[in-house]
């Protein structure tokens, strides 16, 4: 049988597409906790990147140049990418693709350029120590991220695993729990998991007095709610009094129907034009962690209120643009969905929104004034879509009796962009 050899240019192509980068997950047990292939990847690398702790844990296997991460951390990974084509290794904590550096690297390179060797994540280690079913546990990384992210998952009877940034994290979580009506929740602080200094301590949030906490820690929470606990239910139409507002808020029932019409899908972006209290954008983001929203609000006091509401609902990533539409819309990322509030946004705003909306995107506009209703009637005549009149009556006292009191009716236009607007 004749052996065929590759032409030089074919060999170069194979080398160019071979993985030049190894991403090795390492735990507090160091080299003892990783496999032979991962050890080999470290030993054969000409350059090994990692945090100083990781480099120290892998010291005995490193034969090339050890390079600590720059401070501040470079999310663009310029130093690593500059070595493309050379044998390079990056050390990461646990599973590099679970809130890890592997995710950051993958944004800048093709999967065929690297090979990953994951170790157990902190969440996996914690669940195994506690005997918790990881698939049934709510997990959240607060490492370098706002602590408010924990708020939406605080539901009675749930188990939560929260990764913190440092030694102060557990006490901050305990304080948030107490302030939100979850002070009787049981906390387990799991420190230096997998290493020789590993320990687990337990306390109720309201009794928190632990000291000398290892900076590498994770907090396990068995959630218990008091009668007045601030629980954020699943689904659309959160109670109005959960929000801080000045009356400029899409009311609960109308909000539920509006979000249903907006039909959020994973990974999508919403523009909330004339955000008021921010309730639409906030509930949009609460529907799934992958959803994003931009709130556009020109009134300074309301803009500040949007920020406070976003934090108190655990969606600090809500992006606020302080300005008046349509000018404030210029340069924003193209939206998958747009909501225009009912207070009186004019035809110029609607035209700009229709132009910006993606093909296949959804626009929902509410009108409570006759002027805005005329804008929506004209839009319906020009573009089609669906018009609906929404009316809510609430039972209220009438003297010593009870009667129905009608809220202002809302005209709602729903439009799906199938082609460029004319």
What is the rounded CA–CA span in Å between residue 2 and residue 22? 35
Record the pTM. 0.85
What is the bridge-based pairing of β-strands 393-398 and 401-406?
antiparallel
What is the torsional sign of CA 256, 262, 268, 269?
Answer: negative
What is the rounded CA–CA span in Å between residue 52 and residue 69? 8
**What is 249-267 written as a DSSP string?**
S--HHHHHHHHHHH---TT
Per-residue pLDDT of the chain (422 residues; tens, 9 = 90+): 444 454 555 444 434 457 999 999 999 999 999 999 999 999 999 999 999 999 999 999 999 999 999 999 899 999 999 999 999 999 999 999 998 999 999 999 999 999 999 999 999 999 999 999 999 999 999 999 999 999 999 999 999 999 999 999 999 999 999 999 999 999 999 999 999 999 999 999 999 999 999 999 999 999 999 999 999 999 999 999 999 998 888 899 999 999 999 999 999 999 999 999 999 999 999 999 999 999 999 999 999 999 999 999 999 999 999 999 999 999 999 999 999 986 656 668 999 999 999 999 999 999 999 999 999 999 999 999 999 999 999 999 999 999 999 988 999 999 999 865 44
Residue 240's alpha-carbon distances to 201, 234, 281, 383, in angstroms, are 39, 15, 14, 33
Domains, the chain, ordered by start: 15-119 (3.40.1010.10), 123-222 (3.30.950.10), 240-416 (3.40.50.150)
């Amino acid at each position: 049988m004749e052996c065929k050899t590759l032409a030089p240019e074919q060999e170069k192509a194979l080398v160019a597409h071979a993985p030049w980068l190894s991403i090795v997950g390492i735990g507090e047990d160091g080299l003892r906790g990783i496999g032979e292939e991962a050890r080999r990847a470290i030993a054969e690398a000409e350059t090994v990147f990692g945090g100083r702790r990781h480099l120290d844990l892998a010291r005995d296997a490193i034969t090339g140049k050890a390079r600590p991460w720059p401070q501040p951390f470079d999310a663009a990974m310029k130093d690593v990418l500059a070595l493309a084509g050379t044998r390079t290794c990056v050390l990461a904590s646990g599973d590099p693709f679970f809130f890890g550096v592997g995710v950051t690297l993958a944004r800048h390179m093709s999967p065929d350029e690297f090979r990953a060797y994951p170790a157990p994540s902190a969440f996996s280690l914690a669940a195994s120590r506690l005997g918790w079913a990881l698939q049934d546990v709510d997990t959240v990384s607060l490492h370098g991220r706002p602590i408010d992210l924990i708020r939406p998952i605080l539901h009675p009877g749930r188990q939560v695993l929260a990764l913190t940034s440092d030694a102060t994290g557990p006490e901050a979580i305990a304080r948030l729990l107490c302030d939100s009506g979850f002070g009787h929740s049981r906390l387990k602080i799991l420190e230096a998991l997998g290493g020789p200094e590993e320990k687990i301590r337990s306390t109720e949030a309201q009794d928190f007095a632990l000291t000398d906490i290892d900076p590498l820690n994770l907090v396990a929470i068995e959630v218990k709610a008091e009668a007045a606990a601030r629980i954020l239910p699943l689904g659309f139409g959160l109670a109005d009094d959960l929000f801080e507002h000045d009356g400029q808020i899409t009311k609960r029932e109308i909000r539920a129907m509006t979000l249903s019409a907006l039909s959020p899908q994973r990974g999508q972006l919403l523009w909330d034009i004339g955000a008021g209290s921010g309730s639409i954008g906030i509930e949009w983001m609460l529907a799934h962690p992958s959803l994003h929203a931009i709130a556009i609000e020109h009134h300074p006091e309301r803009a500040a209120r949007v920020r406070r509401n976003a934090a108190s609902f655990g969606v600090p990533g809500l992006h606020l643009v302080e300005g008046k539409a349509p000018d404030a819309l210029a340069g924003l990322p193209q939206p998958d969905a747009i909501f225009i509030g009912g207070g009186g946004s004019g035809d110029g705003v609607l035209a700009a929104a229709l132009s910006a909306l993606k093909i296949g995107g959804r626009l929902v506009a509410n009108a409570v004034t006759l002027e805005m209703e005329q804008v929506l009637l004209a839009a319906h005549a020009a573009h089609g879509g669906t018009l609906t009149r929404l009316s809510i009556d609430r039972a209220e006292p009438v003297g010593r009796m009870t009667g129905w009191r009608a809220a202002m009716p809302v005209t709602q236009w729903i439009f799906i962009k199938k082609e460029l607007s004319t």
